[in-house]
Structure 1
Amino acid sequence: MKVTVDQDTCVASGQCVMAAEDVFDQRDEDGIAVVLEPEPSPERAADVRQAAAVCPALAIAVQE
């Protein structure tokens, strides 16, 4: 699994961090999402998929 965030599309809602805090964080200056773990472990896959599903801007891409 590979995860990316389109930072130009991100609206800084923080939903991804709530769903998968080990994989996502937000920049201090503007709240835009950043990926901490671009290739998360299989144990985190469900949380990453949930984060992508709840992103209001659909800024998270997950490649299986």
Structure 2
Amino acid sequence: MKAEVDREGCIECGLCASTCPEVFRMGDDGPAEVYVDTVPESAEQTAVESQEGCPVDVIKVE
């Protein structure tokens, strides 16, 4: 499973980073970013929750 963030559309709310810190973090330049190549199996559910909870729908988890 992979995750990605459309950083241009990110409003920097931090919800994804707080929901799934194993996959997402806030970048030094502001918007959220994915910092793992593959979502760990133990974090798959919270990664999907981050996608579903994103207020601007810029997260994809596949």
TM-score, normalised to structure 1's length? 0.88
Q: Tell me how far apart the structure 1 counterparts of residues 37 and 3 of structure 2 sit (CA, whole Å).
A: 5
CA RMSD between the two structures = 1.0
Alpha-carbon offset, residue 36 of structure 1: 1.1
Which 5+ residue runs of structure 2 have no aligned equivalent? none
CA shift digits 1:2-33 (9 cap, x unpaired)? 10000011110000011101111112332x00
Q: Give the ranges of 4+ consecutive aligned residues of structure 1 lying more than 3 Å apart after TM superposition.
A: none
1:36 partner amino acid: Y
- Residue equivalent to 1:10: 10
For 1:62, the equivalent position in structure 2 comes to 61
Question: What is the aligned length?
Answer: 62
Q: Structure 1: which 5+ residue stretches go unaligned?
A: none
Between the two proteins, what is the percent identity of the paired residues?
Answer: 26
